[in-house]
């Protein structure tokens, strides 16, 4: 009989170091939702637009706390690789809903260089949204290359590569309930 050795699976890497705890995230998301509830109280048509996949966890927690009629929709983007300008953003999945005359709140996990958001904000305005504002959980301001105004900002962070609460490293770690930092060599 072949016996499975209990130690046959490779050791798992250490979990990422906690930068922002799950409790701190939930507290801040509640504060951001309270501001949005106040600011959009008169809005007739609010659409929260997320950028797949990173913003999903944040967007879901945020909209659950909105006491307004709100629709949700998603973009998916990717940057052109290999030799083209880093500022060229490709739309891989477009919105399903028309945004003309709607108040659009763009909900993002993190603003880094700003290229992705700049492209999407410009596109939403060009399509005739009544208003367009950005709500970003994390802001890595020191990395900014193009200006994007953030109307609702969760946390300012240093130039660290972070994972969790939607953010990934090679598609891993999105499901962590906190924002963590990968420590090299572990």
User: Which residues form the catalytic set?
Assistant: 112
Considering the rule CB under 6 A, would residue 110 count as an interface residue with ligand IMP? Answer: yes
Closest CA relative to residue 58, chosen from 25, 99, 36, 9: 25
The nearest distance, CB 10 to ligand IMP, in angstroms, is 24
| Contacted by 154, from Mg ion, ligand IMP, none: CB < 5 to 8 Å by type | none
Single out the residue of 54, 154, 164, 180 in contact with Mg ion (rule: CB under 5 A).
54
Question: Which CB sits closer to ligand IMP, 40 or 139?
Answer: 139
Considering the rule CB under 6 A, would residue 109 count as an interface residue with ligand IMP? Answer: yes
Instruction: Give first-to-last CA distance, the chain, whole Å.
Output: 36
Considering the rule CB under 6 A, would residue 99 count as an interface residue with ligand IMP? Answer: no
Considering the rule CB under 6 A, would residue 115 count as an interface residue with ligand IMP? Answer: yes
Helices within the chain (DSSP H only): 22-39, 56-64, 115-126
Listing DSSP states for 129-164 in one string gives -SEEEEEEEEE-GGG-SS----SEEEEE--S--EEB
Convert 91-127 to b/e letters by CB count within 10 Å (16 or more is b): eeeebeeebeebbbbbbbbbbbbbbbbbbbbebbeee
The nearest distance, CB 118 to ligand IMP, in angstroms, is 8
Q: For residue 53, is the peptide bond before it cis, meaning its omega torsion is within 30 degrees of 0?
A: yes
| Contacted by 167, from ligand IMP, Mg ion, none: CB < 5 to 8 Å by type | ligand IMP
Considering the rule CB under 6 A, would residue 182 count as an interface residue with ligand IMP? Answer: no
Which residues would be at the binding site for Mg ion (CB under 5 A)?
A: 51, 54
Residues forming contacts to ligand IMP in the complex (CB under 6 A) are 51, 54, 108-117, 161-163, 167
């Amino acid at each position: 009989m072949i016996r499975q050795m209990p130690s046959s699976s490779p050791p798992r890497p250490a979990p990422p170091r906690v930068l922002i705890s799950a409790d701190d995230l939930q507290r801040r998301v509640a504060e951001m939702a309270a501001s949005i509830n106040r600011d959009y109280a008169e809005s007739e048509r609010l659409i929260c637009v997320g950028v797949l996949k990173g913003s999903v966890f944040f967007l879901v927690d945020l909209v659950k706390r909105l006491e307004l009629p709100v629709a949700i929709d998603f973009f998916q983007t990717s940057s052109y690789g290999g030799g083209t300008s880093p500022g060229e953003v490709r739309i891989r999945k477009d919105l399903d809903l028309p945004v003309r005359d709607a108040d659009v709140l763009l909900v993002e996990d993190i603003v880094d260089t700003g290229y992705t958001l700049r492209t999407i904000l410009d596109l939403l305005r060009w399509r005739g949204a009544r208003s367009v504002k950005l709500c970003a959980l994390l802001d890595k301001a020191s990395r900014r290359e193009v200006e994007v105004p953030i109307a609702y900002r969760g946390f300012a962070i240093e130039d660290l590569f972070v994972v969790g609460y939607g953010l990934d490293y090679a598609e891993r770690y999105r499901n962590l309930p906190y924002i963590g930092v990968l420590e090299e060599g572990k």
